[in-house]
A and B are shown apart, each in its own frame.
Chain A
Amino acid sequence: MNVHEYQAKDLLRQYGVAVPAGGMAATPAEAEEVARGLDKGLVVVKAQVHAGGRGKGGGIKLAHSPAEAKQVAGEILGMQLKTHQTGPEGKLVRKVYVESGSEIAHEYYLGVVLDRAEEKLAIIASTEGGVEIEQVAAETPERIITVNVDGNAALPGYAARRVGFGLGFDGAQVKQLEVFLSGLFRLFVEKDCSLAEINPLVLTQGGDLLALDCKLNFDDNALYRHADVAALRDPEEEDARERAAQEIDLAYVGLDGNIGCMVNGAGLAMATLDMIQYCGGSPANFLDAGGGADKEKVKEAFKIILRDENVRAILVNIFGGIVRCDLIAEGVVAAAAELGIEVPLVVRLQGTNAEAGREILAASGLDITPAETLREAGERAVAAVGGA
């Protein structure tokens, strides 16, 4: 789960990580008021959307007075912000964050991530801040410092020292970084983050370290034990179909093709997309109906697939292990009757009770194209939308 910058910075403050003074505003008048409460003249007004690259898209602006803060907030609020992470349609800006401007001497990168290969946490730092770390990794990997540590709550002091001296800090700055980084690390571990990224971390002309921007991602599997984090979810930022699917325990990812897919199991669901593309077609979605798929779930899954107006055919691909194919078939028949599905249906049932499932489909009188193998399923779905 992602959160907004203003929410992430609130968490940083709770963990003693230095951030510039600031506050969230949902209207231009609120932005003016926040700006008035900040002691410096220069403020930064930042669009709050779950996407990077906001500055380039016109979502971050400077203001030299509370009145100007009101004016630029008026320009940013309500805009459809387009960045390389929002997709071409952009994202509607509903909130801004107004914070004190900082006099920057240098920008750094500092992040904590789960390192899958090392099976540890990794602290990643670079002297190249303010740009994407992937770009630094590709172009100047020697400027990245990685320190692996165990996932315990306390960051060992040496790890912070390796990072600080590695970044070229002097002794006093390293001491400051120890406080900063141990707070960030404790936040990561205590709140079950999957990514905590400060980019840029700035050294001000006054010699202070500040988190200028912050991105926090949280492990969805651990939200059950962090009600405070779960409460930060902003449904407006999430894809409506993905959210609807999540509410009924289905994994759904919208894609831009025209063949809707309903599959059981994440691996087979990915492979089904691959099969469709291999046959020259284009899938409209990834959908894993899960191990507990039954009649009701199948119907709900159809509803979510059909919310996508681009869908011209639906491929159901079930390999029954725990899932019983006869129950899936009943769900398909019920959904087709109740929802009035008008697009062609290609259904492949394999595994547990597959034969019974196929009989239910055949006896239903519905216009369903059966498929025996994965290859047939792919070919027939692509043919159903008019071929490759």
Chain B
Amino acid sequence: MAILCNAETRLLVQGMGRMGRFHAGLSLEYGTQVVGGVHPGKGGTTIDGIPVFNTVADAMAETEANASVIFVPPPGAADAILEAADAGIALSACITEGIPALDMLRAKRSLAGSGLRLVGPNCPGVVTPEQCRIGIMPAQITRPGPVGVISRSGTLTYEAVDQLSRLGIGQSTCLGIGGDAIIGTTFVDALRLFEDDPDTAAVIMIGEIGGSAEETAAAFIRDEMSKPVAAFIAGQNAPPGKRMGHAGAIIAGGKGRASDKIAALEAAGVFVAPSPAEIAETLAKNVPELAGS
């Protein structure tokens, strides 16, 4: 079953530029049903065997797509998200990095009440192993199994997945929720989906400095999660006031420190890995029944 996407998912690619085409190809290769692309002005053409439409609405009418991945450059990305919502897409993963924060603030307000679940922006997307790849993750490192993986970072997601796979532990679904200050699906949203997913037995959550999403997640885990959660928080030694690559990774006004996040998670019963090399190990040690799953 997994969460968010599976073998039934019918994917549209919004923005068939260089990145969009490249990853549409990799997703097709992985077995994902990539049913169309959207690129204004190129409607009616076919790119790499994928039919292209001018608008998401046109694509929906022809393809019965239910998900999209957005590669539209920053100035038009928030608009692309709203276009997906308007057309009735159920799930969009926005890969675009560099969307102005106020654009996302307004887009997120507009999404309230729409049927769209947004993942990202500034995220690597979603993979349900051997079923569906949405976005840019190297899906070949994943393997099917019982652990859900949620992360604010792309490459650190790969690191955790690789560690799990090396221990012989597979994943139900892996998703990157994005490194920006304002994002669609939050840790709490993703944790709730994993808690309700019968195929997921445990969760790995990778946070980082900046904001208070990890503290909010800790409260949710304490109050509403029955499944075990292991975590790692990146940026334990980051200097205050400096943006560490991600737009949202900044300790500002004494808030957003890794130490506060770790304390909140530990108090909620989460197994926090002492180093980034021990993320999967920490989960495996505390949940021995996962071994070889």
Contacts and interface: CB of A to CB of B under 8 A. Distances in A.
A363 interface: no
Contacts of B277: 275, 373-375, 378
Given A151-B106, A221-B101, A291-B136, A253 B276 contact: no
Contacts of B208: 266-267, 270
A367 interface: no
Closest 7 CB pairs of A and B: A267-B153, A266-B245, A265-B155, A267-B156, A271-B276, A375-B277, A222-B100
Contact of B216 (A117, A271, A273): A117
Contacts of B242: 253, 286
Given A253-B242, A268-B234, 5 more contacts: A117-B216, A192-B102, A267-B234, A275-B275, A286-B244
Contact of A221 (B158, B235, B239, B247): B247
A116 B155 contact: no
A292 B252 CA distance: 29
A277 B105 contact: no
Given A266-B246, A271-B156, A274-B275, A286 B238 contact: yes
B159 A319 contact: yes
B274 A264 contact: no
A16 to B, nearest CB: 21
B169 to A, nearest CB: 16
A291 B179 CA distance: 14
Contacts, number: 177
Contacts of A286: 238, 242, 244-245
A194 B151 contact: no
B147 interface: no
**Could you say which interface size class chain A belongs to?**
35 or more
Contacts of A322: 136, 138
Given A267-B153, A274-B234, A278-B275, A221 B245 contact: no
Interface in A198-238: 219-222, 224-225
A321 interface: yes
19 contacts: A116-B211, A116-B213, A117-B216, A120-B105, A151-B106, A221-B98, A222-B102, A224-B75, A253-B243, A267-B156, A267-B157, A268-B159, A268-B276, A270-B208, A270-B234, A270-B238, A291-B154, A375-B278, A378-B277
Nearest to A286: B244
A134 B253 contact: yes
Nearest to A263: B155
A352 interface: yes
Interface in B214-254: 216, 232, 234-239, 241-249, 253-254
B136 A270 contact: no
Nearest to A268: B155
Contacts of A263: 155
A267 B179 contact: yes
Nearest to B210: A116
A72 to B, nearest CB: 29
